[in-house]
């Protein structure tokens, strides 16, 4: 997207997409999970409809058996962009997990953050927390409030045929348990 929108007032997050993200993170241990989030803008609200898991190119051994980092596969990113053309949806952000650290951008995340004005969803498996962050620019992030929706709340929601995990816990509007 060439013309980036302003920071959203809040994120309207599809609960099934969040459940899928959390389940993907659990399965990826000892590595961080990562993926892209698909949605759309409606005035100053960013709606996240779907989480699409991607290969973590940074996955590999460290002292704990995982990399402690993430890198989204650029080929998968481009493939998803092509698939979304003309759908009214776009890639609005990325998502990744932290194995034990808090659900906030780490020093490594800040140093490696690329695209400005991009949503970051981070789940902490250690803290059992999921939070939304807005990457403003140059590694600067602002927290975003999360409001929840179910796929049935949006009649034209996309379906990727992958059932959501049933074991992720709920949350309030500012983030919450994973």
pLDDT tens string 1-20: 445 567 999 999 999 999 99
Which has more confidence, 6 or 126? 126
- The percentage of the chain sitting over the pLDDT mark of 70, rounded to a whole number, equals 76
pLDDT per residue over 16-57, tens digit each?
999 999 999 999 999 899 999 999 998 899 999 999 999 888
Which has more confidence, 155 or 25? 25
Residue with the two structure tokens 């959501």: 164
Within 13 Å and on the Cβ side, how many CA atoms surround 33?
Answer: 23
Domain parsing of the chain, residue ranges: 10-155+173-177
Does the domain at 10-155+173-177 match CATH 3.30.870.10? Answer given as: no
What is the DSSP pairing of strand 45-54 with strand 10-14?
parallel
């Amino acid at each position: 997207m060439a013309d980036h929108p302003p920071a959203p007032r809040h994120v309207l997050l599809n609960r099934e997409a969040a459940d899928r993200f959390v389940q993907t993170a659990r399965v990826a241990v000892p590595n961080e999970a990562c993926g892209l989030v698909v949605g759309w803008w409606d005035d100053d609200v960013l709606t996240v409809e779907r989480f699409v898991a991607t290969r973590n190119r940074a996955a590999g051994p460290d002292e704990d058996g995982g990399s402690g980092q993430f890198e989204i596969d650029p080929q998968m990113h481009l493939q998803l962009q092509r698939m979304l053309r003309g759908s009214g949806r776009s890639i609005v952000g990325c998502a990744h997990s932290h194995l034990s650290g808090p659900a906030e951008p780490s020093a490594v995340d800040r140093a490696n953050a690329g695209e400005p004005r991009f949503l970051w969803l981070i789940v902490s498996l250690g803290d059992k927390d999921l939070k939304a962050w807005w990457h403003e620019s140059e590694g600067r992030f602002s927290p975003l409030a999360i409001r929840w929706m179910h796929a049935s709340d949006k009649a034209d929601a996309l379906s990727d045929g992958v059932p959501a995990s049933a074991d992720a816990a709920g949350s309030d509007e500012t983030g919450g348990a994973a």
